[in-house]
């Protein structure tokens, strides 16, 4: 081999093929998966149930690339934010949110983001690059290992930095690795992918044999306002996104969550609530109302609690299942829309 193969980029079948090329037995792929994902072992020499000759060959030609923890920030509410560095020194942030009621890992799929949503700090970075499959899975591995949760049930949300559907192939491959029963074995029902809505990718996602929960970021009830808040709306309009959602087969999902960041005097009116209830009509949906997490760099404000409650009540009266997200980790800039790295 001319260069070292990063094992974290490989699904189980790919790892089996690699082992066969190296003179090993394909079934040992399951053993290696268990060492890496269930025990957090990345040194081939410590994988003691593998033949010594195979361990030696793998140590010479393979690696288990793992992000490095640069810094951790601890919130008063128990949330922990991790700054993680990859091999090229590009960094992402990942967040651990306890008691949700399950433990939840919020991970990133890109370094930065190209969506430029007006109320999100990550968008101010622009897109630096996509994360690899191994880098996405590595965030989960390192958080689970660091927090002693490798053998504990937890949720994963792709709600960190980046637009997952703009890194489609790597993100979906990461999901397949994370759900593999020989590894972390996270059920697809415990994984949520958050997206601003990319119709072509949503259509493709509907054909996948394995599909996570979906959270679609709307944030506006008119095309004009969404053009301002989510500039990519010029390419993927509300009507197109909602049409794609309606075509997703009901047997492949329980419910689509529509996320709506509430901005004072911008999208929080009675009319906005009425229009939102109409937009989601005909879709098996839940609306997650997210009061803005303020930051000096963001030119918007959080509505009053009374305004937030009024908005949610209107949706509920119109028959919409609704929840108001409780922000976690705001004091360490770990809440929704607050992730940003400065390398």
Q: How many Å apart are CA 320 and CA 326, to the nearest integer?
A: 19
Q: What is the pLDDT of residue 343?
A: 39
The DSSP call for residue 298 is S
Q: Is 113 a catalytic residue?
A: no
Q: What is the pLDDT of residue 167?
A: 97
Closest among 164, 171, 180 to 215, alpha carbons compared: 164
Q: Which of 9, 93, 135, 259 is catalytic?
A: 93
Q: What is the pLDDT of residue 1?
A: 40
Instruction: Report if pTM > 0.85.
Output: yes
Taking a C-beta distance cutoff of 8 angstroms, is the pair 177, 15 a contact? no
Closest among 43, 44, 83, 79 to 67, alpha carbons compared: 83
Quickly list H helices, the chain: 12-21, 28-33, 52-61, 133-146, 168-179, 199-205, 223-229, 238-247, 270-279, 305-317
Q: What is the pLDDT of residue 264?
A: 97
Q: How many Å apart are CA 339 and CA 110, to the nearest integer?
A: 12
**Alpha carbon of 133 to those of 35, 99, 110, 139, 177: distances in Å?**
19, 27, 11, 10, 9
- Domains in the chain (CATH in brackets) are 5-63 (1.10.150.530), 68-332 (3.20.20.70)
Taking a C-beta distance cutoff of 8 angstroms, is the pair 164, 171 a contact? yes
Weakly modelled stretches of the chain, pLDDT under 70: 1-2, 100-101, 250-253, 329, 331-335, 337-340, 342-343
Q: What is the pLDDT of residue 339?
A: 63
How long is the chain? 343
């Amino acid at each position: 081999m001319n260069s070292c193969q990063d094992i974290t980029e490989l699904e189980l079948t790919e790892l089996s093929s690699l082992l066969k090329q190296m003179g090993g037995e394909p079934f040992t792929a399951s053993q290696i998966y268990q060492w890496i994902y269930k025990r957090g072992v990345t040194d081939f020499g410590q994988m003691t149930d593998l033949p010594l000759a195979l361990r030696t060959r793998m140590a010479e030609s393979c690696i288990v690339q793992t992000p490095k923890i640069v810094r951790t920030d601890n919130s008063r509410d128990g949330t922990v934010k991790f700054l993680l560095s990859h091999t090229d020194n590009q960094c992402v942030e990942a967040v651990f949110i306890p008691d949700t009621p399950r433990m939840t890992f919020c991970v990133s799929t890109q370094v930065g983001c190209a969506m430029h949503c007006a109320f999100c700090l990550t968008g101010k970075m622009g897109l630096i690059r996509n994360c690899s499959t191994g880098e996405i899975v590595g965030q989960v591995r390192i958080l689970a290992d660091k927090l002693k949760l490798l053998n504990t049930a937890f949720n994963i949300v792709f709600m960190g930095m980046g637009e997952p559907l703009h890194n489609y192939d790597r993100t979906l491959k990461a999901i397949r690795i994370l759900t593999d029963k020989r590894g972390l074995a996270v059920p697809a029902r415990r994984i949520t992918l958050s997206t601003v809505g990319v119709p072509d990718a949503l259509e493709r996602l509907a054909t996948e044999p394995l599909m996570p929960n979906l959270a679609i970021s709307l944030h506006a009830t008119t095309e004009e306002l969404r053009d301002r808040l989510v500039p990519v709306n010029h390419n993927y309009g509300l009507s197109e996104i909602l049409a794609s959602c309606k075509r997703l087969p009901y047997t492949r999902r329980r419910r689509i969550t529509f996320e709506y960041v509430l901005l004072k005097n911008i999208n929080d009116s009675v009319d906005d609530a009425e229009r939102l209830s109409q937009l989601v009509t005909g879709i098996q949906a839940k609306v997650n109302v997210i009061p803005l997490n303020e930051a000096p760099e963001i030119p918007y404000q959080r509505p009053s609690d009374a305004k937030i409650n009024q908005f949610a009540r209107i949706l509920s009266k119109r028959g919409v299942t609704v929840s108001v997200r409780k922000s976690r980790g705001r004091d360490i800039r770990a809440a929704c829309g607050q992730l940003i790295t400065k390398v």
